[in-house]
Structure 1
């Protein structure tokens, strides 16, 4: 599966925190809770993608605007990821069905003939 285009650019934790409008310690907490999983450098430093920053903003929105607790937010994220994976699989299967339809012969008519019973 190809990497997302927004995964190429990564941010240090301080930059990601500023972009998401949060404190860096909040990002560390969310990482420990599994709400967001940034990439790691060989030295263990966190590197956040634009997708991670967008997810952090959504976590903040759900928490502050919608009043969802962190356990609920984690479940929402898990379900959203499952839906996206299922939608991708449906697209793959639809493409496969179209490919198979294009490969089949155009005429599939079958005529069955039986002679009349001889007396």
Structure 2
């Protein structure tokens, strides 16, 4: 059996496959997967909805989690919602889900 190689932070390569926040996708690949343009992804970064990590060369890298958020915005935009409104809707939905999670967690405590 070959042991997993680890990076300098002690994270193995196998762990990265399961990490939905690992920035594995280039801008080009992310845009291709979403069926959108690089400009659309840049606009989400400018709106501070998605802040991709940067490679050593300064290139944007996106995680699966970020791509799911971008897909949600894309769906709203495709339905005719303005980009800034779509970003606000996604932000508010996420805040609502987090508040509901906290309330449910608190209600479960004795």
TM-score, length-scaled by structure 2:
0.71
Aligned match of 2:13? none
Q: Over aligned residue pairs, what C-alpha RMSD do you find?
A: 2.1
Q: 2:101 aligned with 1:92, yes or no?
A: no
In structure 2, relative to structure 1, the CA distance for the partners of 1:92 and 1:42 (3 Å cut) is farther
Structure 1, unaligned runs of 5 or more? 98-119
In our comparison, the structure showing a higher alpha carbon Rg is: 1
Q: Does 1:34 align with 2:48?
A: yes
User: Aligned residues, how many?
Assistant: 93
C-alpha distance in structure 1 between counterparts of 2:76 and 2:57, whole Å: 32
User: Unmatched 5+ residue regions in structure 2?
Assistant: 1-17
| TM-score, with length taken from structure 1 | 0.66
- Whether 2:97 is the aligned partner of 1:57: answer no
